[in-house]
Chains A and B, each alone.
Chain A
Amino acid sequence: MAQGVSNSNRPAKPPIWNDPVYRALFFQFLVLGGVIALGAYLISNTLDNLARQGIASGFGFLDTTAGFSILMSLIDYSEENTYGRAFFVGLFNTLLVAGIGIFFATIFGFLVGVARLSSNWLLAKMATVYIETLRNIPLLLQIFFWYFGVLRNLPAPRDSAMVMESFFLNNRGLYSPRPVFEDGFALISWAFVAAIVIIIFMAKWAHKRQEKTGQQFHTVYASIGIIIGLPSIAAVIAGFPMSWNYPELTGFNFTGGIVVIPELVSLALALSLYTATFIAEIVRSGIMAVSHGQTEASYALGIKPGVTLRKVVIPQALRVIIPPLTSQYLNLTKNSSLAAAIAYPDLVLVFGGIVLNQTGQAIEVLSITMAVYLTISLLISAFMNWYNNKMALVER
């Protein structure tokens, strides 16, 4: 409406080469053009070189037979399987160790972080010593320590440490009985699912009842009871349709049962203990960032310390904790590639190492590997950002 007026009131436009908008656009196009040109040059140069060395590019190699065995795999795998399947073995091994690491690092980190704030002198000092020692030693050395220093020095399979004739610990790993499911086991699985559904409904009911009558319900104890009780009853009804496959010493090593290889244990231990020190510090700073006035206000209302921690302090501490915690999860996941140093068959060792050496498809293999880590990291990031937004404070 008043556009004509405001236009005439505006100062005269600067010449086009001095206008910040056009100037910015010009330089951005210039840079973009440069990047595209450089990329095109690199790609054509690489293709030329590959052609000269007689290496075929493309992803066809994924369908050829791998011909090497892998120490540990979560899916069925043998030498006759393809490189593609070897990739998934490596990927799942990486996800396994990262998952275990994140789980234990989080729990242990929270405990140690709270312990360091404890009024118990001994507990607080022990937490401090733990944090200051382990976070200041390089992770690779810690992995070596657990692997070469501790687990490889266990006795040979013949002299295994033994518990109840069914668990065996030696320098090849920890062997435990493997459950074998027989007909009728489905009933137990269904009982387990039913237990979870019941618990969800019970939690909702308890919440509603507290809103209505104010009475609180011990959901945690009841849940534990249901989750153990229901499947047990089902097991009795079905007549225990399950047997155990025990590990047995045949020749130089054990066969049967489940084996947890020492490479996995040392890697998971080192990753969780190392990352837990950082998480502990993050948790400590998060709790300390909640002003003392918050606790005082809660106490002054007669709210007990436990409820104060749960309803007042932790929700506020979390918003300080989550962003740096995300970085630690990402670090742990990426640090799991140090697995190669002790020959734990993770993605980098299996795919970025063996497959790359055998096929020579460096560009394809490395770009796939990098894309995988990027995807895992972005997924973790996305999840944590979502959680962070949920916890964020409303202001103004």
Chain B
Amino acid sequence: MSEIAIQAPTKEMTVTDDVMINMIGVHKWYGEFHVLKDINLTVHKGERIVICGPSGSGKSTMIRCINRLEEHQQGQIIVEGTELTGDLKHVEQIRKEVGMVFQHFNLFPHLSILDNLTLAPIWVRKMPKKEAEEVAMNLLERVKIPEQAKKYPGQLSGGQQQRVAIARSLCMNPKVMLFDEPTSALDPEMIKEVLDVMVELAEEGMTMMCVTHEMGFAKTVANRVIFMDEGQIIEENEPNEFFNNPQNDRTKLFLSQILSH
């Protein structure tokens, strides 16, 4: 995988002791297939975690459990003190506070960019339309595409669409952002513009969990890198140690494969 130069974060990023996400002994099955095996993970406020691993290792499934796009069948997931159960009230409460960015953007193609951004604030936060539009325009400035506000998703490039998707999540003013391979569907030249936005977000102290194979991003931004294989967390370390001194054989093999070319 080619590495892309990313500006090193300028500000000092702080991690607090407040627990944001707590996963305790989480298991999940797809029928007979055991996707997640005893996942234990604590994410603190302000922490930026990169999750990597071969495909089918359960990375996406794990972060999709955090806002219950997938249901876990055993164990506990607690987000900001609220436990995820079948209770729809809890699920909705958590989804309001947890933003998610998808590999394929999933923008609403029938709505303009501005309407994509204001839909959730208006219907979930009950925000007046004018205020929602002001918030949306501010965020579009932040992701550097305010001039596209009146256009439709189909008229934008992949990189622009993904930045809109990030802005759309930020409109809900989330406390955590989950990224599910946000750059995997992009052309190389567009990857950087998306990563830059993510780095900026990290500098501002956003708690982030990111499934990605962008090792450059992991090195510069992450506090912790997690390696998953066959539904388990195999190795977990701060980026320098993780890349220079991997402990597990499986991790070594994976790193040699993705960094070799």
Could you tell me which A residues sit within 8 Å of B by CB distance?
210-216, 291, 293-294, 296-304, 307, 311-312, 315-316, 319, 391, 393-396
Across-interface contacts of A291 in B (CB, < 8 A): 106
The reply to whether B122 and A210 form a contact with Cβ atoms under 8 Å apart is yes
Which chain B residues (127-169) contact chain A, with CB distance < 8 Å?
127-131, 151-152, 154-155, 165, 168-169
Once A293-B104, A293-B106 are accepted as A-B contacts, the answer to whether A303 and B129 lie under 8 Å apart by CB is no
Across-interface contacts of A311 in B (CB, < 8 A): 119, 123
Q: Indicate the member of A303, A315, A391, A393 with the most B CB atoms within 10 Å.
A: A303
B108 at the interface (CB under 8 A from A): yes
B134 to chain A, nearest CB (A): 13
Across-interface contacts of A391 in B (CB, < 8 A): 110
Once A302-B92, A302-B120, A312-B108 are accepted as A-B contacts, the answer to whether A297 and B125 lie under 8 Å apart by CB is no
CA gap between A330 and B223 in the complex, in Å:
63
With CB as the reference atom, state the residue of chain B lying closest to A291.
B106
The reply to whether B92 and A304 form a contact with Cβ atoms under 8 Å apart is yes
CA gap between A316 and B111 in the complex, in Å:
10
A383 to chain B, nearest CB (A): 21
CA gap between A211 and B125 in the complex, in Å:
12
Once A300-B69, A300-B100, A311-B119 are accepted as A-B contacts, the answer to whether A393 and B130 lie under 8 Å apart by CB is no
Q: Indicate the member of A211, A319, A391 with the most B CB atoms within 10 Å.
A: A211
Across-interface contacts of A293 in B (CB, < 8 A): 102, 104, 106
**Other-chain residue from B109, B124, B126, B151 in contact with A301 (beta carbon distance below 8 A):** B124
Inter-chain pairs besides A296-B102, A301-B120, 12 sampled, C-beta below 8 Å: A211-B129, A213-B128, A214-B122, A214-B126, A214-B131, A297-B100, A299-B95, A300-B69, A300-B100, A301-B124, A311-B123, A316-B109
**What would 16 A/B residue contacts be, using CB atoms closer than 8 Å?**
A211-B130, A212-B128, A213-B128, A216-B126, A294-B106, A296-B102, A296-B106, A297-B100, A297-B102, A299-B95, A300-B67, A301-B168, A302-B120, A312-B119, A316-B108, A393-B152
CA gap between A396 and B107 in the complex, in Å:
15
CA gap between A212 and B131 in the complex, in Å:
8
CA gap between A394 and B169 in the complex, in Å:
23
Across-interface contacts of A298 in B (CB, < 8 A): 108, 119
A279 to chain B, nearest CB (A): 22
With CB as the reference atom, state the residue of chain A lying closest to B127.
A214
B228 at the interface (CB under 8 A from A): no
CA gap between A395 and B155 in the complex, in Å:
6
Across-interface contacts of B126 in A (CB, < 8 A): 214-216
The reply to whether B154 and A393 form a contact with Cβ atoms under 8 Å apart is yes
B96 at the interface (CB under 8 A from A): yes
The reply to whether A301 and B106 form a contact with Cβ atoms under 8 Å apart is no
Across-interface contacts of A299 in B (CB, < 8 A): 67, 69, 95
With CB as the reference atom, state the residue of chain A lying closest to B152.
A394
The reply to whether A396 and B122 form a contact with Cβ atoms under 8 Å apart is no
Across-interface contacts of B129 in A (CB, < 8 A): 210-212, 214
Which chain B residues (227-245) contact chain A, with CB distance < 8 Å?
none
A180 to chain B, nearest CB (A): 49
Across-interface contacts of B58 in A (CB, < 8 A): none
CA gap between A302 and B100 in the complex, in Å:
10
B99 at the interface (CB under 8 A from A): yes
CA gap between A393 and B152 in the complex, in Å:
9
A125 to chain B, nearest CB (A): 22
With CB as the reference atom, state the residue of chain B lying closest to A207.
B129
CA gap between A214 and B127 in the complex, in Å:
4
Across-interface contacts of A316 in B (CB, < 8 A): 108-110
With CB as the reference atom, state the residue of chain A lying closest to B97.
A302
